[in-house]
Structure 1
């Protein structure tokens, strides 16, 4: 999207203006030229209307400069509108100066009671606040802008505000809430009469899926967007989606596959003079090189990125630069130098509230401290890293569950709206029919009977569909067993029912070993067959009272109510043996499948299912670390 906020993230143009231009003061001549006002309004519509969604950053900035020239003298109302959009110009290299300009634009819009300009100024201000004070701090301004726009008079601006808030929530790890804002933004864009999907919204949704660990959904979104961008020669969009595909490979643990999309993005950005995009591609490429053990190469790439950011006077990526530089130095055994960079990165990462990068930093710091002979400090940092990882994993599972609930509510709401529209249309047809034939009583009675039958049919169909959706929302479509929401509900019920003294609930987390290799070697259809075969085998050895559910990918949970840890370990061992006995001759006679299992028991009455699952997850991690195909508690 080519709105003001996306221009801000894309970067600064190489333009140094004299003070009069930089402050963008209106002309002081008293007359307001009618023709000039019309020109201003026409350009403003391009800047804030649907055309802005397709404009490149260069085109958008050029329109802002034209808007400045066309601003009529002595016209406070248009001056307020101008300032609210010019606030997002890449003219503002210094975020402190940009923040001061945003405050001035906001004050003028408030004085004139111009709610749309106030909202734009608030959204712009939020970007500068995030750069100067951290991501979390910008949320209040965006919330205020969303509330101000709920009257529905500016649907496109409301969509942009919701999308902005969703981006911030996603960056802070609140993926379910972010997705809800993205869905609302989509509806607002449709209300504004904008056909098709805004590409920036598609990108935001894809990034949220990536951060939530849904690799396949994210890859599908990024790949399809990349094809659309290539077809219309939108090189900024091409490079951006290539960078995201690189990050997707990095987070999937395949840095060797991340190098190519990062390098392609860099080539596109250089060829089409997109310096900020080039800097982002360099950062991603450096991370991949470092993770591949190429410390020296990674350092050279980081130096190129650092020089590029410095040339743009852009300090927004300083936390990543410091962290990656430390990791590259550590790869070369220069741990003392690495620790110095980690110390510089720590407050910047904490300020932005990104727990994922914070976990990476503590893990890297622990490695360097251990290498330098400081085991106590290394152990402390590694414990912090482990706690952060458990929290991140728990939060990811929670966000995935919440997203399922939100999606179900959205589908149910859409169905209800369609039903109400159908009923309203039917009633309107009835009224018209009654007016046409009001002199014939028998026809009135007949139409009433037909209407009653229609409403009864709709109610019956609605009830049947609601029941079916309710059932389907609790079943994993591939294996036919409980899904995440259903099995977590079973765990909560089991823990709530364990009220008598000595009663215990045990949870098992199962993870098929090296499952990705099965998909890569034999294809996803074979992987699906293995998942179904494993769940069928497990059902044959499970006690009838122990529900089994799939919580994602190749990961499953068993709830053992009124079961001690020792009893649960015996159940887990039966599951492990049943898995080892599986054969898939139609796929590959040599294929053998094993499973690692983590077991945990509730320890006290106020244990939540998240607590027990977190301990079982930690036990599963130990099983993986100790060679797989085993049970740990």
Structure 2
């Protein structure tokens, strides 16, 4: 393995992240310009993209951070720079965690641990152990949260890193307070706070104050705990750490709600929703919306509670939670597997008990494999219709376009939209609307060829990629689909409904193209079909 990254790379990242908290817009603009310059230089964009991605993560832009870190990872792989790739993994694992891609985060943590050991980088291994503990904390798994963080604490004590020692103590206190070990938690906070004060580490002081406040809330000292949380968030606002602010607002709101003070909880939770929406913190947004609904319900405001819950549904948070629950189940299965293996090794002499453990292990492995298959299916498909999802269509679409361009084969794209779908939802309810979407998917799938790709693009929009299809073939396919929808009513629980479809169609021309560009043309063609009266298709001109 090779490395061209200077040893102080982690310190460079830490310095830039501190600057982001002071002057976010100017610092990010300068780093963005550095990336643009690096792309034009022979040395590559890797280091500049890594620092920019880490800075975006510090600013709370997890999605933008992942894009920049993707560029850095590609450059590191291309140049064989494993030390750079390891630092990318550290930042990428954090970005995946805060954006809600828990399976991706777990894989990134594990790959990073393996690479850090291969490189003999004990400090970065400690950073990843600390991050892995926080990851399990996000899943409310307090035992592995404590275990991984204690491993990190031992490493940083050995290496003489006081700031991370304080951070580990803070996180351990958080994990054990969830199991009501409040005296131990307070001892950790009391050891950590003087370290943070001595270092002048403001962010650490904020985290420790919030943790201490959380213990007070659990002990029933609501007013004092609330005061410490708000003091912590004042520091975090000064530092620009929106992610931790959002987490603390959710924690405080939940504590106030459970303490019978919903009127005080509601402003905290609504602020958490605003932060999470602005920065796309999917897990925190899902939690905040649920708690807002509960707060309105506790206040006797049923319409507002229903609106909050409906927003939760409309933004896809419930579907995301289902996938998250599947990931959580998978992680818990993995944890049970490791326990079963350890017990089997310790009880080799006890044949009867060992046989029972082995049987349980076999069943757990079978469930694990079945869950893995289901997770892979969920990652590719839309949960309502069973069609490809948007992400999978993006991947397969560009691949198919490249194949057609290499072989000079024709290809066309259709973007379809259910006419007046909002009227169906408003008149008959969302359950009937879902029935229409499921039947629409079945008819679309049944009226194209087996090799064509069909995806739910979002809401009532569908995308069809017609392989080996020229202009005339695309016309025929669009008309066939239109007739299949319009000529026979949709059978629903509200009775038969007449449903029509508008389609925008575009064919691949001789120039270079990507799916995103073809879809923009198809969307414009769809608009034309809608404008001309709906229940028809429009083929975008080529050339």
TM-score norm. by structure 1 comes to 0.47
Q: 1:353 to 1:289 in 2, by over 3 A?
A: farther
Q: CA contact under 8 A between 1:95 and 1:131: conserved in structure 2?
A: no
Which digits, 9 at most, give the CA deviation of each residue in 1:540-585, with x for residues without a partner?
Answer: xxxxxxxxxxxxxxxxxxxxxxxxxxxxxxxxxxxxxxxxxxxxxx
2:6 aligns with 49
Q: Which residue of 2 aligns with 1:138?
A: 65
Q: Distance in 1 between matches of 2:249 and 2:136?
A: 27
Change in CA separation of 1:249 and 1:52 when aligned onto 2, cut-off 3 Å: same
Give the deviation of 1:196 after TM superposition. 7.8
Which residue among 103, 113, 129 is the counterpart of 1:202?
A: 129
Question: How big is the shift at 1:255?
Answer: 6.5
Aligned residue in 2 for 1:151? 78
Corresponding position: 1:369 with 2:296? yes
Quick one: structure 1 residues 188 and 321, their matched pair in 2 at CA, closer, same or farther if it must change by over 3 Å? closer
Aligned to 1:96: 25
C-alpha change, 1:483 and 1:209, in structure 2 (3 Å) is: farther
Distance (whole Å) between structure 1 residues aligned to residue 113 and residue 157 of structure 2: 23
CA distance in 2 between partners of 1:492 and 1:122 (Å):
33
3-state SS, counterpart of residue 393 of structure 1: helix
Matched, 1:285 2:242: no
C-alpha distance 487-87 of structure 1, shift in aligned 2 (>3 A): closer
> What CA deviation, in whole Å up to 9, does each residue of 1:16-74 have, x standing for no partner?
xxxxxxxxxxxxxxxxxxxxxxxxxxxxx9xx534666xxxxxx4xxx7xxxxxxxxxx
From 360, 378, 384, the equivalent of 2:305 is 378
Contact 2:102 2:327 (8 Å CA) reproduced: no
Q: Does 1:393 align with 2:325?
A: yes
Q: Which residue pairs with 2:366 in the alignment?
A: 486
Normalising by structure 2, we get a TM-score of: 0.54
Q: Which segments of 5 or more consecutive residues in structure 2 lack a partner in the other structure?
A: 339-354, 374-543
In structure 2, relative to structure 1, the CA distance for the partners of 1:152 and 1:213 (3 Å cut) is farther
Distance 1:351 1:231 in 2: 40
Change (3 A) 1:195 1:354: closer
Aligned to 2:229: 302
Q: What does the per-residue CA deviation read over 1:224-270, in whole Å, with 9 as the maximum and x for residues that have no partner?
A: 32233334542212111112213323555767764443444334312
* Aligned CA distance change for structure 1 residues 146 and 298 (closer, same or farther; 3 Å): same
* Secondary structure of 1:198's aligned partner: helix
Residue of structure 2 aligned with 1:113, choices 15, 24, 42:
42
- What SS does structure 2 have at the residue aligned with 1:480? helix
Q: Distance in 1 between matches of 2:309 and 2:187?
A: 32
Q: Secondary structure at the residue paired with 1:482?
A: helix
The number of residue pairs the alignment matches comes to 351
1:171: which partner in 2?
Answer: 98
Instruction: Give, in angstroms, the shift of residue 89 of structure 1.
Output: 5.8
Shift of 1:308: 2.4
Q: Structure 1 residues 297 and 134, CA, compared in 2 at 3 Å: closer, same or farther? A: same
CA contact (8 A) 1:476 1:483 kept: no
Of 216-225 and 306-315, deviating more is 306-315
Which of structures 1 and 2 has the bigger CA Rg? 1
Q: Report the CA distance shift for 1:391/1:382 in structure 2 as closer, same or farther (over 3 A).
A: farther
User: Which of 101, 110, 123 is residue 50 of structure 2 equivalent to?
Assistant: 123
Structure 1 residues 205 and 371: CA distance shift in structure 2, 3 A: closer
Give the Cα–Cα distance (whole angstroms) in 2 for the partners of residues 324 and 404 of structure 1.
28
RMSD (Å), alpha carbons: 4.2
Deviation at 1:198, TM superposition (A): 2.8
The answer for the alignment partner of 2:200 in structure 1 is 273
Q: Alpha-carbon deviation of 1:297?
A: 0.7
